Amino acid sequence: MGTWDMGPFGNDGAADLLDDLGAMPVERRLGAIRGVLSTAAAERDYLEAPEGQMAVAAAALIAAARAGSAFPADPVYAPDLTVPEPPRRLAVLAVHALDRVLAPDSELAELWDESDGGQEWLAHLARLRAELTGDTEPAGGTD
């Protein structure tokens, strides 16, 4: 894996997604994000790391684009990327995709579980999930 960071945009899968989104018209971006989230959420077998990385990045873009969101969208690879405000159903789909990324048969979850930063990565995803669901505090509270 070339790029490896616990933030939603700090990996190769996210960089690929951001590159693809940046190359398309703004009005097509939500559809592309929906496709990434749907692919991850619908995977019934083993979810490979690149698909998991793209799903996390897509979920972060949805969270940041929601009205009134305090979630930071600071993608290193596409700092000027804009995404239209998503409908609520995309936030729901993003939560399902995150849940799939966190499932036992997910390569990305396995890789982070084996790393020293696994707990911190889980905390990042909990904050992202809380932003998408509208919770003021992620499950488990704050430290």
pLDDT digits (tens, 9 = 90+) for 25-74: 999 999 999 999 999 999 999 999 999 999 999 999 999 898 777 676 66
For residue 137, what pLDDT is reported? 54
The answer to whether residue 2 sits within a structural domain is no
pLDDT for residue 75 is more than 90:
no
pLDDT digits (tens, 9 = 90+) for 107-142: 999 999 999 989 999 999 999 999 999 875 545 544
Q: Which two tokens stand for residue 20?
A: 């693809």
The answer to whether residue 140 sits within a structural domain is no
The answer to whether residue 139 sits within a structural domain is no
The answer to whether residue 143 sits within a structural domain is no
For residue 77, what pLDDT is reported? 67
Number of domains in the chain: 1
User: Residue 11, SS3?
Assistant: strand
Domain with 53, as residue range(s), is 12-133
Q: Which two tokens stand for residue 109?
A: 């979850």
Cα–Cα distance for residue pair 102/26, rounded to 1 Å: 29
Between 137 and 95, name the one with better pLDDT. Answer: 95
